[in-house]
């Protein structure tokens, strides 16, 4: 089995982004990599994300997502984005949620790489 790559743009809060996707349940042990970028990150307009692993650990808890400079909706710029990776075991469901403040967008990409 090879990697699984998912990506999308959130325009509002979402309590379980991976629900109903190919990564709702992880097919075998591996690594999940999250690449995240908001169009804006101001006091009025921002996104914060949380990740809860299947064992209950919460390595990200309402972490503000950096924005693009200049503002480019839907762009994930590797020089400015938030990228984190976590090990995950087979059969686990990782809850990835996003909370919007104000009015902005969140571009995200999640890559599962089998061990």
Give the per-residue pLDDT at 68. 87
Give the per-residue pLDDT at 36. 98
Question: How does pLDDT run across 52-102, given as a tens digit for each residue?
Answer: 999 999 999 999 999 988 888 899 999 999 999 999 999 889 999 999 999
Give the per-residue pLDDT at 98. 98
Which percentage of the chain shows pLDDT scores above 70?
A: 100
Give the per-residue pLDDT at 49. 98
Question: How does pLDDT run across 13-66, given as a tens digit for each residue?
Answer: 999 999 999 999 999 999 999 999 999 999 999 999 999 999 999 999 999 999
Indicate yes or no: pTM above 0.85.
yes
Q: Is the dihedral of CA 61, 84, 25, 101 positive or negative?
A: positive
Q: Number of helices (H) and strands (E), helices first, in the chain? A: 0, 7
Strand partners, 39: none
Give the per-residue pLDDT at 114. 96
The CA–CA distances, whole Å, from 100 to 40, 50, 54, 106, 115 equal: 11, 12, 24, 9, 33
């Amino acid at each position: 089995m090879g990697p699984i790559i998912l990506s999308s743009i959130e325009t509002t809060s979402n309590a379980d982004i991976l629900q109903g996707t190919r990564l709702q349940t992880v097919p075998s042990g591996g690594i999940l990599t999250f690449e995240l970028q908001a169009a804006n990150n101001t006091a009025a307009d921002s996104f914060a994300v949380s990740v809860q692993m299947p064992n209950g650990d919460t390595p990200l808890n309402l972490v503000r997502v950096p924005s693009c400079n200049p503002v480019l909706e839907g762009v994930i710029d590797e020089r400015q984005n938030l990228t984190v990776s976590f090990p995950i075991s087979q059969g686990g469901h990782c809850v990835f949620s996003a909370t919007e403040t104000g009015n902005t967008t969140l571009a995200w990409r999640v890559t599962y790489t089998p061990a």
